[in-house]
């Protein structure tokens, strides 16, 4: 019954070659207890399974992921925006000028965390746009292990903080499943938001596997970025005070610089007047600074003025004023983000951990054009085809960046933010995929302030970390055999600026916009084209068909020699035809290897595709108080259809007030509530107008049912941002107590953030008639939403219409 401890140690070392100095991870399967068990304790010898412990001196690992930040927007890349803390990391480390991403957030983040290409991760698009094909179903395979899963098995603490956006959108509710949430993919602690964006003042927060609310209100000074950094610091401190030798892996993904561009006013005001000369002037100044800093080659030619961007000099003064302020807000937002990154870096330095922390900072794609040609003070208007009004936007000038607006700048600033490249996020020109990237690790990198020009891709980060940590990729994780890592390490460039890149070939594809890099050459096939206006003229509707694909492969590809032309300004497709044909063929080879096909150009129209749901859509939905908010993707769909909302309540003799049910936030939504004894239904039409239907008499006390009924009286005009008009009626039990007309309703998307909640209004207020959370002071038993009445538009049609509207803002 006994066994040799020495022999058992040898078995463990063979079975787990990367187990550091731990004798055993656990008793390996198939082995016997290595101690001795007798009839009594004095005849027995104990043998504890040793804990998993990292090798002594193992560095911490910190990934910092910025959102929608262009190549020309950080100070160390030539921008006039102040980023002293990010600059400090570059000055104490290495600045990479040839790093690439996928052109979109979720796909890039999957590459950063797994070391595999985004189609290999089934992440061709964002999770909301998944389709039923191996390369795009949104379910990152468990055989593609996350770096967190690899490192937690090596004795690391693992933390994720901030934006996630790697769980299928239909799986982020309280019903789960939770196996693709952060804690299901190797992170021991998580704090952040699971969706693609959120309000910086009223975020949809998740702590580990449960929803939580922000610790303060905007009026009390709350902002998401400092909250995220506070949690990151707290997670590290919690561990280090107990196990100071235990290294950590922290994945910090701020919501910045994605819309909404929100920051305290004093930060935006630092940039007053700095952008009054417009986006073209910004490009010229940044381009010159980039050459001075050596972040672009001296032979680089600045790309052309984008054909979709207005000429700044021809704009009316009011528009220039508005757009300049939008950029001031963005710049303040970025400097504010940099400040809080600096707090984290300072904390690591104070702990004595900074020198042995391998930091990699990256942006997930190029600057975002999702604000459209004119920008917006409420991005939900774009989703709903509701045009922005210049005068309304001008009235918002003094409050841009505050909690009232969900704002995004005009795409002229996108074009400028990607200097010196052309185009932007979602497209595979270098403006969409060439991104800021730096590495800081004083203990492991001798050069300070160096520039590295080797080609690299986000899939290379994981293998680089593993090489730096002297860890081999695991053969299996939790019993799942692992796929090969597809990236290659660039650790050899840390101390050798002249080292050749080991990454020779890389494909790109996003919404059928394709590119291929190979040995300094780059071929690009833009679809629908490198100008929306030109594309509409040539193609009409923008769905890629087999006939159009043949046409594109015959004459739609462009070819660039990046050694001579880093910014893709001289198309060599006609003069180097043989090279172009070679590159196109290579793209198809890579597409076959990594599950890229079929090509799907539909963009956010993919949102309309049916995909597996936990439950089928039904006629009746029952919701309860005290539960977590229901995310938009799985909440009842009431738009453009007859419906009733019934709240079974108990109102005390002294009366009650508060929210019965609400869905959305200050960007749009609806709310049923009691105030001053009266029952109210408010429909917030994308913050442009509130329609309030109130009862003419006070509600009774005792147990009763309070009900709202919506009867459509017309048809929606989705193309012009108008949902179904109708008549609303309020009832207490069966007694009609109020009614009113809704001349227009939200046509497509209820709100950005907020979800559906019963008994209170978490987050931003759906209506200006109350201050959240405005919890109901009586008792709510349940709220039933019935959509069995004859629909003006089916749920499936709503999905499709919403997707087409979303295409407009892209």
- pLDDT at residue number 27: 59
Report for 12-21, 97-106, 529-538: range of highest mean pLDDT: 97-106
Residue 606 predicted with pLDDT over 80: no
Q: Cis (ω within 30 of 0) for the bond into 109? A: no
**Arithmetic mean of pLDDT over the chain:** 92
- 308 pLDDT band, cuts 50/70/90, is very high
Residue 22 has a pLDDT of 35
At residue 757, φ and ψ (nearest 5 deg) are -135, 150
Q: What is the DSSP string of 191-246?
A: EEESSS---SSS--EEETTEEE--SS-GGGT--HHHHHHHHHHHHHHHHHTT-TT-
What is the CB-side half-sphere exposure of residue 670 using CA atoms within 13 A? 26
In this prediction, residues 670-680 reach a mean pLDDT of 98
On the 0-12 / 13-18 / 19+ scale of CB atoms within 10 A, 756 is buried
* Among 608, 796, 641, CA closest to 715: 641
A 10 A CB-CB count for 389 gives: 12
In this structure, are residues 279 and 412 in contact, taking their beta carbons and an 8 Å threshold? yes
**Helix pair 461-468, 105-114: axis angle to 10 deg:** 20
Q: What share of the chain is helix, strand, coil (3-state, %, to 5)?
A: 30, 20, 50
pLDDT at 421 over 90: yes
Cα–Cα distance measured from residue 23 to residue 6, given in angstroms and rounded to the nearest whole number? 9
Percent of all residues in the chain with a pLDDT value above 90, rounded to a whole number: 83
pLDDT of residue 718: 87
Confidence band of 799 (pLDDT split at 50, 70, 90)? low
The pLDDT of residue 278: 98
**Over pLDDT 70: what percentage of the chain?**
91
The DSSP call for residue 458 is G
pLDDT band at 50 (very low <50, low <70, confident <90, very high): confident
Q: Is 624 exposed, middle or buried (0-12, 13-18, 19+ CB in 10 A)?
A: exposed
pLDDT band at 32 (very low <50, low <70, confident <90, very high): confident
Q: What is the mean pLDDT of residues 419-433?
A: 97
Structure tokens at 443: 């203990």
The whole-number pLDDT of residue 604 equals: 61
pLDDT at residue 753, as a whole number:
76
pLDDT tens readout for residues 152-204 = 999 999 999 999 999 999 899 999 999 999 999 999 999 999 999 999 999 99
User: What is the Cα–Cα distance from 438 to 96, expressed in whole angstroms?
Assistant: 6
Per-residue pLDDT reduced to its tens digit, 712-751: 999 999 888 999 999 999 999 999 999 999 999 999 889 7
DSSP 602-669: -GGGGGGS----SS---SEEEE-TTSPPBPGGGS---TTB-EEEEEEEEE-TT---EEEEEEEETTEE
pLDDT for 165 equals 97
Residue 790 has pLDDT above 70, yes or no: no
- The pLDDT, as a whole number, for residue 10 is 33
Residue 30 confidence class, pLDDT cut points 50, 70, 90: low
Provide the pLDDT for residue 534.
62
Residue 24 has pLDDT above 60, yes or no: no
Low-confidence winner among 443-447, 692-696, 796-800 (lowest mean pLDDT): 796-800
d(CA 56, CA 61): 15
The answer to whether residue 527 scores a pLDDT higher than 60 is: yes
pLDDT at 468 (0 to 100): 98
Quick one: pLDDT band at residue 1, thresholds 50, 70, 90? Answer: very low
- Confidence check: pLDDT of 657 > 80: yes
pLDDT of 801: 52
- HSE-up (13 A, CA, CB side) for residue 809: 25
Which of 135-139, 231-235, 360-364, 526-530 is predicted least confidently? 526-530
**Mean per-residue pLDDT for 242-262?**
97
Using pLDDT thresholds of 50, 70 and 90, give the confidence band for residue 754. confident
Distance, CA of 729 to CA of 463 (rounded, Å): 61
């Amino acid at each position: 019954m006994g066994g040799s401890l020495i022999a058992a140690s040898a078995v463990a070392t063979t079975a787990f070659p990367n187990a550091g100095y731990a004798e055993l991870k656990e008793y390996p399967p198939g082995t016997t207890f290595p101690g001795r068990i007798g009839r009594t304790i004095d005849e027995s010898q104990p043998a504890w399974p040793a804990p998993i412990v990292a090798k002594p001196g193992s560095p911490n690992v910190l990934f910092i992921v910025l959102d929608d930040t262009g190549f020309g927007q950080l100070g160390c890349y030539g921008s006039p925006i102040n980023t002293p803390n990010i600059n400090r990391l570059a000055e104490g480390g290495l600045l990479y000028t040839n790093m690439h991403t996928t052109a979109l957030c979720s796909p890039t983040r999957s590459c950063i965390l797994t070391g595999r290409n985004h189609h290999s991760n089934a992440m061709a698009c964002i999770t909301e746009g998944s389709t039923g094909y191996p390369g795009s179903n949104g379910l990152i395979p468990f055989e593609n292990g996350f770096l967190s899963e690899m490192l937690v098995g090596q004795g690391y603490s693992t933390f994720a903080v901030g934006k996630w956006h790697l769980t299928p959108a239909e799986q982020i509710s309280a019903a789960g499943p939770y196996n693709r949430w952060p804690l299901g993919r190797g992170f021991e602690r998580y704090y952040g938001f699971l969706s693609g964006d959120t309000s910086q003042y009223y975020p949809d927060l998740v702590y580990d596997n449960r929803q939580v609310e922000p610790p303060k209100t905007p009026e009390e000074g709350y902002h998401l970025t400092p909250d995220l950094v506070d949690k990151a610091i707290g997670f590290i401190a919690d561990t280090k005070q107990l196990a100071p030798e235990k290294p950590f892996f922290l994945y910090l993904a701020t919501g910045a610089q994605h819309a909404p561009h929100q920051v305290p006013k004093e930060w935006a005001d630092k940039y007053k007047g700095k952008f009054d000369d417009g986006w073209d002037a910004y490009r010229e100044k940044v381009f010159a600074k980039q050459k001075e800093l050596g972040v672009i080659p001296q032979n680089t030619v600045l790309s052309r003025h984008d054909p979709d961007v207005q000429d700044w000099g021809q704009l009316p003064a009011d528009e220039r004023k508005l757009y300049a302020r939008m950029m001031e807000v963005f710049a303040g937002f970025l400097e504010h983000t940099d400040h809080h990154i600096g707090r984290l870096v300072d904390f690591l330095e104070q702990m004595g951990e900074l020198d042995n922390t391998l930091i990699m900072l990256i942006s997930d794609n190029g600057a975002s054009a999702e604000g459209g040609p004119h920008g917006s003070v409420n991005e939900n208007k774009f989703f709903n085809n509701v045009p922005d009004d210049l005068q309304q936007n001008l009235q918002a000038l003094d409050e841009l960046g505050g909690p009232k607006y969900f704002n995004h700048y005009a795409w002229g600033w996108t074009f400028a933010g990607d200097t010196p490249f052309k185009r932007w996020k979602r497209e595979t020109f270098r403006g969409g995929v060439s991104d800021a990237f730096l590495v800081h690790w004083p203990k492991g990198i001798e050069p300070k302030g160096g520039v590295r020009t080797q080609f690299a891709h986000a899939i290379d980060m994981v293998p680089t970390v593993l090489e730096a940590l002297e860890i081999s990729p695991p053969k299996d994780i939790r019993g799942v055999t692992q796929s090969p890592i597809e990236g290659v390490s660039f650790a050899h460039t840390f101390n050798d600026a002249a080292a050749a890149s080991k990454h020779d070939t890389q494909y790109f594809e996003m919404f059928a916009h394709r590119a291929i890099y190979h040995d300094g050459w780059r071929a690009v096939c833009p679809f629908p084209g490198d100008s929306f206006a030109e594309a509409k003229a040539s193609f009409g509707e923008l769905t890629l068909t087999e006939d159009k694909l043949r046409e594109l492969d015959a004459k739609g590809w462009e070819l660039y020699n990046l050694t001579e032309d880093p910014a893709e300004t001289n198309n060599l497709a006609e003069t180097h035809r043989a090279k172009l044909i070679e590159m196109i063929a290579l793209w198809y080879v890579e597409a076959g290897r990594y599950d890229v096909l079929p090509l799907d150009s539909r963009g956010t129209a993919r949102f309309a595709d049916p995909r597996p749901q936990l439950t089928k859509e039904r006629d009746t939905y029952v919701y309860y108080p005290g539960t977590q908010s229901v995310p938009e993707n799985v909440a009842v769909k009431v738009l453009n259809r007859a419906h009733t909302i019934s709240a079974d309540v108990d109102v005390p003799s002294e009366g009650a007030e508060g929210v019965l049910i609400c869905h959305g936030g200050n960007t749009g939504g609806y709310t049923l509530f009691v105030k001053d004894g009266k029952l109210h239904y408010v429909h917030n039409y994308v913050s442009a107008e509130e329609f309030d239907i109130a009862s003419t008499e006070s509600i009774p006390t005792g147990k009763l049912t309070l009900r709202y009924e919506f009867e459509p009286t017309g048809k929606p005009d989705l193309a012009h941002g108008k949902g179904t008009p109708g008549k609303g009626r309020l009832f207490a039990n069966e007694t009609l107590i109020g009614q009113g007309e809704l001349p227009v309703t939200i046509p497509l998307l209820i709100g950005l953030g907020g979800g559906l909640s019963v008994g209170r209004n978490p987050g931003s207020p759906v209506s200006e008639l109350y201050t959240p959370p405005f919890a109901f002071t009586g008792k709510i038993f349940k709220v039933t939403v019935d959509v069995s009445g004859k629909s003006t538009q089916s749920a499936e049609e709503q999905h499709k219409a919403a997707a087409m509207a979303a295409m407009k803002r892209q």
